[in-house]
A and B are shown apart, each in its own frame.
Chain A
Amino acid sequence: MRPRILHPRARAVLIVGALLLGSVLLLAEKTAAAVLTVPYVTNPVADADLDGNPATGDWSGAASTAIPLENGEPLSYGTATLYTKHNGTVAFFRIDGYVDVPWASATGNHFWLGWQMSPSGTAHHGTGTWDGALFGLWNGVDYAPAATSPPRPVDTNGFSKPPVADGSQDLVGAMATAGAAVPYAFTAEWRRTMDTGDPSDIVFVPDGATALNFFVTTDSDGDGSEGGAVAHNVVTNANTLIFGRPAGAPPVIPAGALVCGPEGDPLADGHARPLEYHATYFDPNTKITLYMTCSEDPSTMHVAIATPWSGWASLLVQATDSDASSFNEVQVMHGDEGGALALDAYANESTALTRDVDAGGTQDVAGVAHGHDNPVHVYEFSVPLRSNDSLDSRLDSVGPYTLAIAYNATTDSFGGTTEGSSGLQVFYVDPAAGRRKEPTTVDFLPAPAGNSTDGSVYLVTLRNSTGYPVPGSTIYPFVRTAFGFLDIGPVETDEDGVATFSYTPLGEGKFLVGVGYAGGTNLSASVAWYQIESVGPAEAAGAVVRPVEAIVAMALAGVWSTYAYAYFLVRQTFRNGSPGLLSRLRHKARGPHVSGSSEGGDPPPRTGK
């Protein structure tokens, strides 16, 4: 019987169909990058339930989505499900997936699950900020202490292999596997405070707008991309996470963000009163305090700058919604008679600072006032936020935007170089925020006498508007010197809102010491100044001899004494060539010498002259 042979056309159709089906299947197996908004909830997951057991814990209200795992695997090994939610203070994460090896013990296989987050637009393995969570063991470079079983998350930063563990571990959770055979199911659960205060951690801003990229990956033997049944070997960072704003709930204002909300127009009299302004920011770099508020439209931003510097101070505000590299800069300084001067200018990456009026725009700074609250100069002014002048700011949305404050202390005219800058800060224009940053006060007092034997110890207290202490907050003490300000901190407030620092002035005189609180979540900044008078360091009982100085002094004294002795030796010969009294007496004591000897012969007679 002859074998049946397919017609060539039929064969071609079959092949093409198989290819199409295969590609569809393959493509279907590749999960698309996820875009997920983390919803605001009021029901958190208890810490005890973050145990890697999907059956425990209240995950209701969480958003979930399938996310591709960056291990290049199809089917179940290549996809996981992400559950996430936040309550405005804490964010919760859970990942359910499959792996080809179980986690059996603390020293078992090197299966690991890695989570990495970054600001939007960061390339995989690229430079920039990375904040991660890693469960499991890294082959040969295990985190110390050795992972427990089930493994806890390690809070990481950076993109080294493995990522560097943060100094402050801010994650709580665990990962566990289940099942008797492959594929083993794994669940990783953890939570993290939205704003940990750790500079290694990315701040989660629940504004419904700030996007963070993230990716998740697994590796079954710890070798990364270098082998193993399941290996981390894909290089995208394409998933996006946005933390949603609580509906109807007041906005959470991150510590570093200002919100320009409506408080009514402040009185432009050269005195900045915190209650006049919606938000206050103290910059530890420049020692300048910035007060901000907006009109209700919001077309106008009212600003006060309290600066301890002479010369000019300036506020740079992002010029438009879309262009973060262009700035409207307002420089202010006081005139010779104490009045306020202001300059409205514009700059971007390709254009140096240009006065608006020189570039066809208009001078739009209004209500400029200057006051001197010793030791700071206070400048109040208003700038348009939605100006029709193309050289001014036009910020049409809530933000976030960037601003900066800067100064030049050694000039008496506008322009010139910037001597100090705060760097870019985030702020929002959100008149609907409806909540101001709460004013705080920082008080600075010398400690009672006898409190410390090592220099002078100063107490700083930080309190909110109701007088309650603000614990765990960073205070920046600094002292004025001939070259600017010298930082002598930072220090942190204790549970009573009290921080201490030591400062011993070198020498006598008056020293201006300042303490600043940069502001926190929902808290405005505050600054206090104190003038201390030093009568010089106390005299130590008895002389304090420092070895190096003593040795140098002795050596110099020895050398100069030798010079003096050598000169004295010859000086004696100037007495008409005869020895002086001492030498004659010494010679007499020795007794007469035999004449003609070359050594110690009779001294020549003293001849008068």
Chain B
Amino acid sequence: MDPVLLAPLRKTTWRFYALIGVLAVIVAVGAYAYMLQMQRGLSVTGLNDRVSWGIYISNFVFFIGISHAGTLISAILRVGNAEWRRPITRMAESITVMAILVGALFPLIDLGRPERMFNVFAYGRMQSAILWDFLSIATYLAGSFLYLYLPMIPDLALIKGKVGPGRIRSLVYRLLGRPWTGSGWQKRRLERAIGIMAIVIIPVAISVHTVVSWIFSMTLRVGWRTALFGPYFVAGAIFSGIATIIIAMAIFRRFYHLEKYITVKHFRNLAALLIVLNLVMVYFTISEYLTAAYGAESQEVVWLQVLSTGPYSLLFWFLVMGGLVTPLILLALRRSIATIVAAAVIIDIAMWVERFLIVVPTMMTPQTEFQWHLYTPTWVEWAITAGAVAGFALMYALFSKVFPIISIWEVSEAPPEKPPVPAPEGVTA
């Protein structure tokens, strides 16, 4: 077994502790802000009776979106027998679980009084898109946990006893790893189970973000009431998910010295997927806005003006030029790891902005004759958002210290590689 794969579990540098410290502080600030919100109510936010959904719901949609990373990389590529996926499946699957955990918190945060979440059970109605969302996310989370756990079983059996002291970790490995002997029968069973999960998790993942989109498109609000929202949300989710994977790959590759396993090929393959999804997003974006502009219904015209020339025009044009056009140019012209990662970062930021622009300007568009009401997030909302992002990063970092971030078992099971094709000139690794 390559010691590089177990190095992160065996050794922790001061830099990691510093990172954890910083992230923990940010999480603590976010927790304090939430405590303040619990004490004083939602009046500490910029939310109001006109704009009742703000960055909390934007964050919810964004995090559920990036959770599609695991589904795409692991499940679809597994079903398609793409062998290059093996080193990065666990990174992707763990992103899925953590993103869902963080994302699912935001509706509770937005609720103000979280105990009212129990009303979903007590007074749930099947006609409500909120209930559909709850059921689909719960199903997706359970499936993602299982899908993350199953391929980890051989690794846990492999590494218990090899990682070194640590009672808690040993207990975790023992409980989760169970007796795994690696027999052919066990492997077949496991492969079969993982294969079944891979197939079933794909429609579940697609349904999750479709249902999330229906929370908006099932209303009668201008800007939301469009049949395009389902595929638009799914495409955007996969788009941001791939970008998040790329960023995670670059970080782990750099700090855990995994260059041997996470190669340029992985980045380029994902970059190719990014380009495709980018074009799909461009297509959907043009279709949505052109349809609204051409029909020129009075309220849609107002909504388009808010986006294109109103208070959020800067964000809108950043999304269009920065989030959709610039990555295309970057990825088409130069496909080094640095360029790909830069494009991925821009995409992730732009997709968050896109979620914000889906939620807020529509809520601002008057449906009746009353005044506009601008929405400006307060420090509480920003602190909670930062806390959530830091929490996600913290969980991910701790996960990489407890479990192997590369699936040792899957990598070892990979068929031998074909001789590499000589790289064209001018390409840097």
| Chain A residues within 8 Å of B, Cβ to Cβ | 546, 548-549, 552, 556, 559-560, 562-563, 565-567, 569-570, 572-579, 598, 601, 603-604, 609
Interface residues of B in 145-203 (CB under 8 A from A): 146, 150, 153, 178-181, 183-186, 189-190, 192-194, 196-197, 200
CB <8 Å contact, A562 and B200: yes
Q: Does B126 contact A (CB under 8 A)?
A: yes
CB <8 Å contact, A566 and B184: no
Instruction: Give chain A nearest CB distance to B154 CB in angstroms.
Output: 10
Main secondary structure of the interface of B (DSSP, over half): helix
CB <8 Å contact, B196 and A562: yes
Given the interface pairs A572-B189, A577-B186, the reply to whether A559 lies near B197 with Cβ below 8 Å is: no
CA separation between A323 and B310, bound complex, in Å?
Answer: 41
By a CB distance below 8 angstroms, the chain B residues around A560 are 139, 142
CB <8 Å contact, A573 and B185: yes
By a CB distance below 8 angstroms, the chain B residues around A573 are 180, 185-186, 189-190
A and B contact pairs by CB, cutoff 8 A, 6 listed: A552-B132, A562-B197, A567-B146, A569-B193, A577-B179, A604-B181
B183 touches which of A566, A569, A577 (Cβ 8 Å): A577
Q: Does B135 contact A (CB under 8 A)?
A: yes
By a CB distance below 8 angstroms, the chain A residues around B179 are 574-577, 609
Instruction: Give chain B nearest CB distance to A579 CB in angstroms.
Output: 6
Instruction: Give chain B nearest CB distance to A519 CB in angstroms.
Output: 30
CB <8 Å contact, A577 and B146: no
Given A563-B197, A577-B181, 20 extra CB contacts under 8 A:
A552-B135, A559-B139, A559-B204, A562-B197, A562-B200, A566-B194, A566-B197, A566-B200, A569-B189, A569-B193, A570-B150, A570-B189, A570-B190, A573-B185, A576-B179, A577-B180, A579-B185, A601-B184, A604-B181, A609-B179
By a CB distance below 8 angstroms, the chain A residues around B185 are 573, 577-579, 601, 603-604
Q: Does B143 contact A (CB under 8 A)?
A: yes
CA separation between A552 and B142, bound complex, in Å?
Answer: 17
By a CB distance below 8 angstroms, the chain A residues around B197 are 562-563, 566
By a CB distance below 8 angstroms, the chain A residues around B135 are 552, 556
Residue of A549, A556, A563 with most partner-chain B CB within 10 A? A563
By a CB distance below 8 angstroms, the chain B residues around A563 are 142-143, 146, 197, 200
Residue of B139, B179, B185, B190 with most partner-chain A CB within 10 A? B185
Determine the residue in chain B with the shortest Cβ distance to A574.
B178
CB <8 Å contact, A566 and B146: yes
By a CB distance below 8 angstroms, the chain B residues around A609 are 179
Determine the residue in chain A with the shortest Cβ distance to B179.
A576
| Chain B residues within 8 Å of A, Cβ to Cβ | 126, 132, 135, 139, 142-143, 146, 150, 153, 178-181, 183-186, 189-190, 192-194, 196-197, 200, 204
B184 touches which of A559, A570, A576, A598 (Cβ 8 Å): A598
CA separation between A575 and B180, bound complex, in Å?
Answer: 9
Determine the residue in chain B with the shortest Cβ distance to A609.
B179
CB <8 Å contact, B142 and A548: no
By a CB distance below 8 angstroms, the chain A residues around B153 are 570
Residue of A566, A572, A601, A609 with most partner-chain B CB within 10 A? A566
Determine the residue in chain B with the shortest Cβ distance to A565.
B196
CA separation between A598 and B204, bound complex, in Å?
Answer: 33
CA separation between A464 and B204, bound complex, in Å?
Answer: 65
CB <8 Å contact, B126 and A552: yes
CB <8 Å contact, A566 and B126: no
CA separation between A562 and B184, bound complex, in Å?
Answer: 23
Determine the residue in chain A with the shortest Cβ distance to B145.
A563
Instruction: Give chain A nearest CB distance to B401 CB in angstroms.
Output: 25
CA separation between A556 and B136, bound complex, in Å?
Answer: 8
CA separation between A546 and B197, bound complex, in Å?
Answer: 29
Instruction: Give chain B nearest CB distance to A590 CB in angstroms.
Output: 14
CA separation between A549 and B181, bound complex, in Å?
Answer: 44
By a CB distance below 8 angstroms, the chain B residues around A567 are 146, 193
By a CB distance below 8 angstroms, the chain A residues around B183 are 577, 604
CB <8 Å contact, A566 and B150: yes
By a CB distance below 8 angstroms, the chain A residues around B150 are 566, 570
By a CB distance below 8 angstroms, the chain A residues around B178 are 574
Residue of B153, B184, B189, B192 with most partner-chain A CB within 10 A? B189
CA separation between A556 and B207, bound complex, in Å?
Answer: 11
CA separation between A575 and B189, bound complex, in Å?
Answer: 13
By a CB distance below 8 angstroms, the chain B residues around A569 are 189-190, 192-193, 196
Determine the residue in chain A with the shortest Cβ distance to B196.
A566
Q: Which 9 A-B pairs have the closest CB atoms?
A: A577-B181, A566-B193, A569-B193, A573-B186, A574-B178, A549-B126, A562-B200, A566-B196, A570-B193
CA separation between A577 and B142, bound complex, in Å?
Answer: 25
CA separation between A556 and B178, bound complex, in Å?
Answer: 29
CA separation between A559 and B139, bound complex, in Å?
Answer: 8
By a CB distance below 8 angstroms, the chain A residues around B142 are 560, 563
CA separation between A385 and B33, bound complex, in Å?
Answer: 56
Residue of A548, A573, A609 with most partner-chain B CB within 10 A? A573
By a CB distance below 8 angstroms, the chain B residues around A549 are 126
By a CB distance below 8 angstroms, the chain A residues around B192 are 569
By a CB distance below 8 angstroms, the chain B residues around A577 are 179-181, 183, 185-186
CA separation between A576 and B186, bound complex, in Å?
Answer: 10
CB <8 Å contact, A546 and B126: yes
By a CB distance below 8 angstroms, the chain A residues around B189 are 569-570, 572-573
CA separation between A548 and B193, bound complex, in Å?
Answer: 30
Determine the residue in chain B with the shortest Cβ distance to A576.
B179
Determine the residue in chain A with the shortest Cβ distance to B177.
A574
Residue of A556, A565, A577 with most partner-chain B CB within 10 A? A577
CA separation between A549 and B200, bound complex, in Å?
Answer: 21
Determine the residue in chain B with the shortest Cβ distance to A572.
B189
By a CB distance below 8 angstroms, the chain B residues around A604 are 181, 183, 185
By a CB distance below 8 angstroms, the chain A residues around B132 are 552
Determine the residue in chain B with the shortest Cβ distance to A560.
B139
By a CB distance below 8 angstroms, the chain B residues around A601 are 184-185
Instruction: Give chain B nearest CB distance to A174 CB in angstroms.
Output: 43
CA separation between A577 and B190, bound complex, in Å?
Answer: 12
By a CB distance below 8 angstroms, the chain B residues around A552 are 126, 132, 135
CA separation between A532 and B392, bound complex, in Å?
Answer: 53
CA separation between A26 and B301, bound complex, in Å?
Answer: 52
CA separation between A604 and B182, bound complex, in Å?
Answer: 11
By a CB distance below 8 angstroms, the chain B residues around A574 are 178-179
Instruction: Give chain A nearest CB distance to B79 CB in angstroms.
Output: 14
Instruction: Give chain A nearest CB distance to B374 CB in angstroms.
Output: 21
Instruction: Give chain A nearest CB distance to B195 CB in angstroms.
Output: 9
By a CB distance below 8 angstroms, the chain B residues around A579 are 185
Determine the residue in chain B with the shortest Cβ distance to A599.
B188
Determine the residue in chain A with the shortest Cβ distance to B140.
A559
CB <8 Å contact, A556 and B139: yes
CA separation between A248 and B132, bound complex, in Å?
Answer: 71
CA separation between A563 and B142, bound complex, in Å?
Answer: 8
Instruction: Give chain B nearest CB distance to A408 CB in angstroms.
Output: 16
CA separation between A546 and B127, bound complex, in Å?
Answer: 11
By a CB distance below 8 angstroms, the chain A residues around B200 are 559, 562-563, 566
Instruction: Give chain A nearest CB distance to B413 CB in angstroms.
Output: 14
CA separation between A604 and B179, bound complex, in Å?
Answer: 14
Determine the residue in chain A with the shortest Cβ distance to B195.
A566
